[in-house]
């Protein structure tokens, strides 16, 4: 079917749209990350929240890398986050992992991070662990 032609309203078998599967994946900064099957189930922490759609595009990039299992751009990424600040819910050692969210214009890793829990809980900080908001994933 030519591009721009409206689809028929007559019921019948669906024909796959050849334009629906791009040859290459679009950059994550143009769309929200694709959640894993377990995503959408976000354990409640009692912390303030932020909608996934309200995060900066660089956070979407980081979330997509988390869902894909890497590769991560910084050697510190995917390392254990110890929750020394005590802000996140208490969990056993090794439950949380931390990931850098790039900060435009920063000459180092910047202050923005996503911390991921083993149960799918995700937390956003833009002030290097002084505060956290739980990321509410799209469902």
Measuring CA to CA, how many Å separate 15 from each of 8, 18, 24, 84? Answer: 11, 9, 21, 54
Q: 120 or 43, which is more confident?
A: 120
Backbone phi, then psi, for 49, in 5-degree steps? -120, 165
137 is an active site residue? no
- C-alpha–C-alpha distance, residues 65 and 62, integer Å: 5
Q: What pLDDT score was predicted for residue 66?
A: 97
Q: Is 41 a catalytic residue?
A: no
Whether the predicted model's global pTM rises above the 0.85 cut: no
Catalytic residue, from 98, 102, 118, 137: name it: 98
Domains and CATH numbers, the chain: 44-136 (3.10.450.30)
pLDDT digits (tens, 9 = 90+) for 32-73: 544 443 444 556 778 999 999 999 999 999 999 999 999 999
What average pLDDT does the segment 23-40 reach? 42
Q: What is the mean pLDDT of residues 21-40?
A: 41
Which is catalytic among the residues 41, 85, 118, 128? 128
Q: Give SS3 for 61.
A: helix
Residue 35: its pLDDT value, please?
44
Q: Which residues pair with 117 in a beta bridge?
A: 96
In this structure, of 1-5, 45-49, 72-76, 103-107, the range with the lowest mean pLDDT score is 1-5
């Amino acid at each position: 079917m030519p591009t721009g032609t409206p689809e028929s309203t007559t019921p019948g078998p669906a024909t796959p749209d050849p334009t629906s599967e791009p040859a290459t994946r679009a950059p994550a900064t143009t769309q929200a990350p694709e959640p894993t099957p377990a995503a959408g189930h976000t354990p409640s922490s009692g912390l303030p929240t932020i909608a996934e759609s309200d995060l900066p595009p660089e956070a979407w990039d980081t979330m997509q890398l988390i869902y894909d299992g890497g590769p991560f751009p910084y050697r510190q990424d995917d390392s254990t986050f110890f929750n020394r600040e005590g802000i996140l819910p208490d969990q056993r050692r090794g439950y949380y992992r931390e990931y850098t969210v790039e900060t435009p214009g920063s000459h180092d890793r910047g202050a923005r991070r996503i911390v991921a829990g083993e149960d799918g809980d995700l937390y956003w900080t833009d002030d290097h662990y002084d505060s956290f908001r739980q990321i509410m994933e799209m469902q």
